[in-house]
Structures are given as structure tokens and as C-alpha cells.
């Protein structure tokens, strides 16, 4: 039986990846950081099948201890301070976790378990002010936030450990991916949750920032398959994972309100508080390499994704008001 270590197990992707690896017969070890209140909501349904171990990307000793104890065959580094807006207010913490945290983990793997295969959660935010459209593995990086800058560091240190030490270390350059388990602060979930609250008469407006921003939004359940496929290849490499379609925040609103028969323009208000000091205007990925080499393709369309999220939030809000 293979063992996989997932950092960021309590996050959106951690929960989907854990489900997927369990379905493939892996022993799944999930690293979680200490908090005063347990936050296992996303993994509650599989908690008994997981090994949960405390650890923190800020603390290398804890990483070494987890690796020594469980000797994983595959390590998926999903942990990060992952919210772009927060990275402007907490740039140093973001750098410590999202940038240097990758080096701490890579170096711990190199020391304790050098043959383990490593996955780094890179991001389309690295393309930032895009140099070409669509973006692919060879597109130059121009990050537009402390988060994006930290992820560029994480990306290149992964490439560096691959080239310096021959580690099987791959980097998935994933475009935005969403689900009913997405954090409420990200725009898709913020919209679908507010649509559900408005439809239930619990709210009357939705305040958003830049409605013109365009993103390539896919379903998280599809994207974790690509992570696993990367680690099954004979050689490590970098892969863009994306749908190849882009939609604006405005279109997202239009579609989400339409699912419950409402006109978005009656409820959405633009609020300067949600604008960013520097914006990423347009992201759309070219996943040709992932399609050809990994045989990966997305299974959920934008409309299906939005409907799935609105319907899940309608159920959630209905349960909350009962």
C-alpha cells in the first residue's frame, strides 16, 4: 500500500485529494496546523480513514518528524496562505508560508525521504500581468500580489530541487478551481452563498470589487486528479491545468443569480473595499501538455460548476434557517 502525505488537508483541495487517494487505496496522512478550534469540516466524512498529524510549514522540525514517522511515497504540498487579498495586508506571513514553507518541506523531504515524489501547488496567479494569452508553461511570470510573488518563489525552488538533487518534484500551475467546499472569501463562493441567502430572504445585496476581472474557473474535484497523474509520470515536470475558457465576475453573477430565477443587477453593488492594489485582469490557460501527457481533461463546465455551487448553498442555507 502506498502512503501519501498531504499538507493543507483541511483546505478545499486537501479534502478532494484525500478522497481521491483513498479511493485508489492509499494510506493518506494529512498534516494540519494547530488551532484553538478544530476545523475538520471538509474532511469530517472521511476523518476515520485518514491519519491526521499536527505540523506547520513554519516549523521544519514538525515536517521532519511527520516524514520520519510515516515514510510517504508521495508528498503533496497544498498548504499555503492562499488568499490574494490577505497577502497585501500580511505580506511577510504569506512569504514565510507560501514561499519559504516550500523550501522547508522540500529540504525535509531531501533529507529524510529523497526518493519520495513531490507535488507543489503552483498557480496561474504567477502569470499576473499576462505576457501572452492563453498562458502556458513557457509564459513568463509577472505576479501582481505578495501571494503571486511567493508562489513564483515556491515554483522555482521546486524546479531547483529537481535540477540540483534529482528529486521527482513536479509543479502544477493550476488555474482557479472551485467547489461547494471553496472558502467563503473567494469570489465564486461569496457569490453563490449570497445568492442563496438572498433567495431565502436573509440578505438584500451583494457587495463585490472588480466585476471585469476574468478567470478560467474549473471544478476542484477534476484538478486533484491532475496532481496525482503528475506524480505517476516517469519524470517530473511542470503542467498547466485549466479549462481553456474564461469568464468575468459579472458573468459569474449573471449565471449564479439566474440559477434561482433572480436578476443579478438588482442585488450586486460595487464596493471599493474589495478592489485590490494591483489586479490580475485576465487568466485563461492552455492545458495542452496536461491533456497530451497526462490524458487529463476537465469534466465540469462553467455553467455546471456555478449551478452545483448555488444548489449546494441553497441546501446549506435551508438547513441553517430550519
Binding of ligand G4F by 60 (CB under 6 A): no
In this structure, the number of other CB atoms found within 10 A of the CB of residue 301 comes to: 13
CB 169 within 8 A of CB 118: yes
Binding of ligand NAP by 13 (CB under 6 A): yes
Beta-sheet strand order (sheet of 238-241) = 51-54, 27-32, 3-7, 74-77, 117-123, 169-174, 238-241
Binding of ligand NAP by 33 (CB under 6 A): yes
| Three cell numbers, residue 42 | 471538509
Binding of ligand G4F by 247 (CB under 6 A): no
**Residue whose CB is less far from ligand NAP, 172 or 199:** 172
**Residue whose CB is less far from ligand NAP, 82 or 158:** 82
Stretch that binds ligand G4F, among 81-89, 195-203, 230-238, 309-317 (CB under 6 A): 81-89
Q: Which of residues 191-230 bind ligand G4F (CB under 6 A)?
A: 208-210, 213, 215
Q: For 56, how many CA atoms within 13 A lie in the half-sphere containing its CB?
A: 8
Residue listed under C-alpha cell 478532494:
16
CA 46 to chain centroid, in Å, comes to 20
126: nearest Cα among 174, 183, 76: 174
Task: Tell me the number of residues near ligand NAP by CB under 6 A.
Answer: 25
Question: Applying CB under 6 A, which of residues 15, 135, 176, 179 lies at the interface with ligand G4F?
Answer: 176
Q: Which of residues 239-258 bind ligand NAP (CB under 6 A)?
A: none
| Rounded Cα gap, residues 168 and 315, in angstroms | 42
Three-state SS at 30:
strand
Binding of ligand NAP by 46 (CB under 6 A): no
Contacts of 80 (CB under 8 A, 6+ apart): 8, 57, 97, 98, 101, 121, 150, 151, 154
Instruction: Name the closest residue to ligand NAP (Cβ).
Output: 11
Binding of ligand NAP by 56 (CB under 6 A): yes
Q: Which of residues 79-108 bind ligand NAP (CB under 6 A)?
A: 79-82, 97
Binding of ligand G4F by 190 (CB under 6 A): yes
**Partner in contact with 274, chosen from ligand NAP, ligand G4F, none, beta carbon below 5 to 8 Å by kind:** ligand G4F
Print the binding letters for residues 104-133 with ligand NAP: x by CB under 6 A, - otherwise: -----------------x-x----------
CB 296 within 8 A of CB 230: no
Element of type H or E holding 198: helix 187-199
Q: Are strands 169-174 and 238-241 parallel, antiparallel or unpaired?
A: parallel
Query: Interface with ligand NAP by CB under 6 A: which residues?
Result: 7-8, 10-14, 33, 35, 39, 56-58, 78-82, 97, 121, 123, 174, 176-177, 183
Query: Interface with ligand G4F by CB under 6 A: which residues?
Result: 82, 84-85, 123-125, 175-176, 185-187, 190, 208-210, 213, 215, 249, 274, 276, 279-280, 283
Amino acid at each position: 500500500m502506498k502512503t501519501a502525505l498531504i499538507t493543507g488537508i483541511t483546505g478545499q483541495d486537501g479534502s478532494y485529494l484525500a478522497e481521491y487517494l483513498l479511493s485508489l487505496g492509499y494510506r493518506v496522512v494529512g498534516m494540519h496546523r494547530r488551532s484553538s478550534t478544530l476545523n475538520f469540516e471538509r474532511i469530517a466524512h472521511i476523518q476515520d480513514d485518514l491519519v491526521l498529524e499536527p505540523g506547520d510549514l513554519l516549523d521544519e522540525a514538525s515536517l521532519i518528524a511527520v516524514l520520519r514517522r510515516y515514510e510517504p511515497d508521495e508528498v503533496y504540498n497544498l498548504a499555503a496562505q492562499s488568499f490574494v487579498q490577505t497577502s497585501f495586508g500580511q505580506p511577510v506571513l504569506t512569504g514565510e508560508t507560501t514561499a519559504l514553507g516550500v523550501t522547508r518541506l522540500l529540504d525535509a523531504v531531501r533529507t529524510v525521504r529523497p526518493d519520495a515524489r513531490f507535488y507543489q501547488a503552483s498557480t496561474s496567479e504567477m502569470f499576473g500581468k499576462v505576457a501572452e494569452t492563453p498562458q502556458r508553461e513557457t509564459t513568463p511570470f509577472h505576479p501582481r500580489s505578495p501571494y503571486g510573488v511567493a508562489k513564483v518563489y515556491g515554483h522555482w525552488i521546486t524546479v531547483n530541487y529537481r535540477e540540483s538533487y534529482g528529486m521527482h518534484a513536479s509543479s502544477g500551475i493550476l488555474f482557479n478551481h472551485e467547489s461547494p467546499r471553496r472558502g467563503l472569501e473567494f469570489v465564486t463562493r461569496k457569490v453563490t452563498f449570497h445568492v442563496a441567502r438572498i433567495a431565502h430572504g436573509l440578505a438584500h445585496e451583494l457587495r463585490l470589487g472588480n466585476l471585469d476581472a476574468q478567470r478560467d474557473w474549473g471544478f476542484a474535484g477534476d484538478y486533484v486528479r491532475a496532481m496525482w497523474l503528475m506524480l505517476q509520470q516517469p519524470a517530473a515536470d511542470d503542467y498547466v491545468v485549466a479549462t481553456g475558457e474564461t469568464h468575468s465576475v459579472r458573468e459569474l453573477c449573471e449565471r449564479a443569480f439566474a440559477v434561482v430565477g433572480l436578476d443579478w443587477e438588482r442585488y450586486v453593488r460595487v464596493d471599493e473595499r474589495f478592489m485590490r492594489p494591483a489586479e490580475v485582469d485576465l487568466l485563461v490557460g492552455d492545458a495542452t501538455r496536461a491533456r497530451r501527457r497526462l490524458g487529463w481533461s476537465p469534466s465540469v463546465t462553467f455553467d455546471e460548476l456555478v449551478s452545483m455551487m448555488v444548489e449546494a448553498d441553497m441546501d446549506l442555507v435551508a438547513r441553517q434557517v430550519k
